[in-house]
Structure 1
Amino acid sequence: MVRLSNNLIGILNFLTLLLSIPILVTGVWLSKQANTDCERWLERPVIALGVFLLLVSLAGLIGACCRVTWLLWLYLLVMFVLIVLVFAFTIFAFVVTNKGAGQVVSGRGYKEYKLGDYSNWLQKRVNNTKTWNKIKSCLQSGKLCSDFKSRFLNDTLQQFYSEKLTALQSGCCKPSDACNFTYQSPTEWNKPQNATYTDPDCDAWNNDPSVLCFNCNSCKAGLLQNIKTDWKTVAVVNIIFLIILIIVYSIGCCAFRNNRRDNWKSY
């Protein structure tokens, strides 16, 4: 009788092997096309994920179908480490994204974001100059604020105030409402002459399309709000992924036990 657990592990890893090929090809393609820091940042994890899935699925496929016990043992070890890492990251994601939210502004359709509202760990990441320069390059190359300007170009001041802006649009593409700048267009605001500000974001604002508020704390806060939302979603997906991993790991343990039993009978 063919052992079901070995067949299931073989099928699952064959599907994973097929999945790893387009992921790896995509990563290599990105490395050839990369022109910006944003694209170069993306290619490495994609290639690493493709190689990881390829090697692990090969180990599981050969170990289960060819009864290679040591390969199946290695596969189970990697799966166990992966389960621990996914569990740890899920807990970590919930903890570091527990703080922070947009602040409602009276008479505005959008919210404003303050860097100090978010967890210290996240703040340290975006306050690192080297890291923020890479993120800023990514945001600029993505035409975040040029698209923002085109979309709301014909708005009057009151129409603009009623717009539902994203966290990044609110934080990076316009100055804080507390600065009391004079509205000219969505990305052009006039500073009052000889004004002094307690908020450093007001001094950081510049009408230059390549500057705007990309150096502002509000822009960093807008990014952290996006990360918080995305990580919350990822954490929920991770819980489902964790359940699947545990099921696959359990099946793998049955296949490993079958391999050992066959090896003992062969002696």
Structure 2
Amino acid sequence: MFRKSNTVIGVINLLTFLLSIPILGGGIWLGSRANQTDCMKFLQWPLIIIGASILVISVVGCAGSCYKVTWLLRLYLFAMFFVIAALLAFIVFAYAVTAKGSGRTVPNRSYLDYSLSDYSGWLKDRVSDPGYWAKIRSCLRDAKACRNMARYVGGVPESAEMFYMRDLSPTQSGCCKPPSACGFTYINETDWIPPSGMTTAVVPDCKLWSNDQDQLCYTCGSCKAGVLASVKKSWRKVSIVNIVVLIFLVIVYIIGCAAFRNNKRLDNDEPYGENRMTKSEPSRMHF
């Protein structure tokens, strides 16, 4: 008959198995988001690896508790400690690299503008790398990130006033239109007329804009900033789930350690108890 401590460890591993699902789901969600918006496909892999590790470790823990294999339980607790440390490190890293930067409000506009100068650190350097940005830019074009922006009212394209009141995503605002400071005249969502005598003194991105649907502002700093803002938004959502999972994992790990110690104590006490009872019986002498 299984000891209660083994049952506790089995339940704990079932919980950790279930907890691995949101982490894996978060990584897959980031991957699906990458294909549609920011194209930062490398972001999902840390979460997928951590989630898969928790899943495998949970199976090991279940096997150790069900079959009472002490070395498997020890391996489970040892591995879980490093998984918790890795998840904590990922959460801290995610918040650190997305700490700076946000959209800028624009007068008489509902959407925000984005500037690369507002961002700094590892993530900015990663996105701004020419070789890596070329891949992101190609991904944005292939995903047709800007071609789904058109809206019609009564069969007529929306007016400039209606467009200015739209809540654009960071990628749409940074990559699919010129920065508001450039003073371009609106024709439609992705077609703008530059002002006469345009200068790059204020916003260098102004002369990088092109009405070519394969170019638009994909080479602009505002586009890179929009991608960074989209990454920040996605990572913050996933980090909230990760924090909740981390708290549960720490609680589960503490309970697992207590159950494992109790299991070892029972293993050591039973023989001792039996011997003690045997020795404590008074010897009977038969004459």
The TM tier, using the shorter chain, reads: 0.7 to 0.9
Partner of 1:173: 176
Contact kept? 1:64, 1:255, Cα under 8 Å: no
Indicate the structure (1 or 2) with the bigger Cα radius of gyration: 2
Q: 2:162 aligned with 1:159, yes or no?
A: yes
1:224 aligns with 2:225: no
Flag the 1:60–1:205 CA change in 2: closer, same or farther, 3 A.
same
What's the counterpart of residue 13 of structure 2? 13
From the superposition, tell whether residues 206 and 17 of structure 1 become closer, same or farther in structure 2 (CA, over 3 Å). same
Match of 2:254 in 1: 250
Match of 2:77 in 1: 76
Distance 1:50 1:243 in 2: 15
Instruction: Kindly indicate whether the alpha-carbon contact (under 8 Å) linking 2:61 and 2:73 is maintained by their aligned counterparts in 1.
Output: yes
Q: Deviation per CA, 1:11-37: give whole Å up to 9, x if none.
A: 44346658979x79xx8xx9xxx9xxx
Q: Secondary structure at the match of 1:184?
A: strand
TM-score (norm 2): 0.75
Q: Tell me, in whole angstroms, the C-alpha distance in 2 between the residues paired with 1:99 and 1:18.
A: 34
Task: Give how far 1:207 is off.
Answer: 1.7
Q: Which residue of 1 aligns with 2:116?
A: 115
Match of 2:206 among 189, 202, 207: 202
Number of matched residues? 258
The residue matched to 1:143 in structure 2 has which SS? coil
State yes or no: 1:184 paired with 2:187. yes
Q: Which amino acid aligns with 1:246?
A: V
Superposition deviation, residue 80 in structure 1: 0.9
CA 52–134 in structure 1, closer or farther in 2 if over 3 Å, else same = farther
Task: Answer 1 or 2: which has greater helix percent.
Answer: 1
Q: Is the 8 A contact 1:160 1:186 kept in 2?
A: yes
For the residues of structure 1 that align with 2:5 and 2:138, how far apart are their CA atoms? Answer: 49
**Corresponding residue SS for 2:166:** coil
Structure 1 equivalent of residue 280 of structure 2: none
Secondary structure of residue in 1 paired with 2:100: coil
Matches of 2:207 and 2:179, distance apart in 1: 11
Confirm or deny that 1:58 pairs with 2:74: no
- Deviation for aligned residue 1:266: 6.8
Aligned-partner Cα distance in 2 for 1:254–1:129: 52
Query: Whole-Å Cα distance in 2 between the matches of residues 225 and 159 of structure 1?
Result: 24
Question: Which one is further off, 118-127 or 191-200?
Answer: 191-200
| RMSD of aligned alpha carbons | 3.5
Question: Post-superposition shift, 1:55?
Answer: 2.4
Give distance in 1, aligned partners of 2:189 and 2:223. Answer: 15
Unaligned runs of 5+ in 1: none
SS of the residue corresponding to residue 183 of structure 1 reads strand
Aligned residue type for 1:210: D
> In structure 2, what is the Cα distance between the partners aligned to 1:8 and 1:150?
57
Residues 214, 6 of structure 1: CA spacing in aligned structure 2 closer, same or farther, 3 A cutoff?
A: farther
Structure-1 separation of matches of 2:113 and 2:128: 19
